[in-house]
Amino acid sequence: MKRKGGSFLLWGSLLVSPIAGARDYDHQRLLYRLGEDGTEIPVETAADWRIRRAAILMGMEAAMGTLPERGQLPAFDLEVLEVVKAEGFVRQTVRFVAEEGDRVPAYLYLPGAGDPNAGVPRRAAILALHPTSPLGKGVVDGQSERPNRAYARELAERGYVVLAPDYPPFGDYKGYDFEKDRYA
């Protein structure tokens, strides 16, 4: 297991942040922010949302690590491996570059005929994450013995663009070598 120093500094900085920490919020309720004295203030303006968003990102980064700088992201590179037509949508099996040397396997659901050149208006998109299962993204596609988990497919049927990636070492990400990646 790799270990990196500085964990004390990370947690210490979270405790003295000028923004109310993510640990102070009810994560089920997004439309309020905390004032300097800890009172709840409804999110009603763009400025309120910027404060609340900063607290959300702080909590996310505490759990997942610091987000990369946007200018350092790799060029968009999507490889389509398979196209399956279904009732009301097309499901593409894809791989995309997340970082150098890492292509993430995923299902991409496109409403309608799935032709990206058909002049379809922009639509809402959803990231559909799977539970712990060897099937990975197949669970949210309805390939498990529990049909009530097929929410990626259901959202595509309702007209949403949906991306359902595999998480290592599940689905097509099986065999992922955690010892060779750059993460702790």
Digitized pLDDT (tens) for each residue of the chain, 184 residues in all: 343 444 333 434 344 444 555 668 888 888 999 998 889 999 999 999 999 999 999 888 887 788 888 888 888 899 999 999 999 999 999 999 988 888 999 999 998 876 666 666 788 899 999 999 999 999 999 999 998 999 999 999 999 999 999 999 999 999 888 888 777 5
Determine the Cα–Cα distance for residues 175 and 99; give it in Å rounded to an integer.
Answer: 18
Q: What is the pLDDT, as a whole number, of residue 83?
A: 96
Which domains, and CATH codes, for the chain? Answer: 7-64 (no CATH), 78-173 (3.40.50.1820)
CB 80 within 8 A of CB 92: yes
Q: What is the pLDDT, as a whole number, of residue 147?
A: 87
Going by C-alpha positions, the residue among 34, 42, 37 that lies closest to residue 58 is 34
pLDDT in tens, 82-113: 999 999 999 999 999 988 888 999 999 998 87
Q: What is the pLDDT, as a whole number, of residue 22?
A: 60
Q: What is the pLDDT, as a whole number, of residue 179?
A: 86
Q: What is the pLDDT, as a whole number, of residue 153?
A: 96
Q: What is the pLDDT, as a whole number, of residue 14?
A: 40
Q: What is the DSSP string of 10-60?
A: HHHHHHT-SSPPGGGS-TT--SEEE-TTS-EEE--SHHHHHHHHHHHHHHH
Going by C-alpha positions, the residue among 79, 78, 91 that lies closest to residue 155 is 91
DSSP strand pairing (125-127 vs 161-165): parallel
Q: What is the pLDDT, as a whole number, of residue 165?
A: 97
Q: What is the pLDDT, as a whole number, of residue 61?
A: 86
Please tell me the total number of residues recorded for the chain in this structure: 184
Neighbours of 53 (CB within 10 A): 13
Q: What is the pLDDT, as a whole number, of residue 52?
A: 93
Determine what percent of the chain falls in helix, strand and coil, rounding each to the nearest 5.
Answer: 25, 25, 50
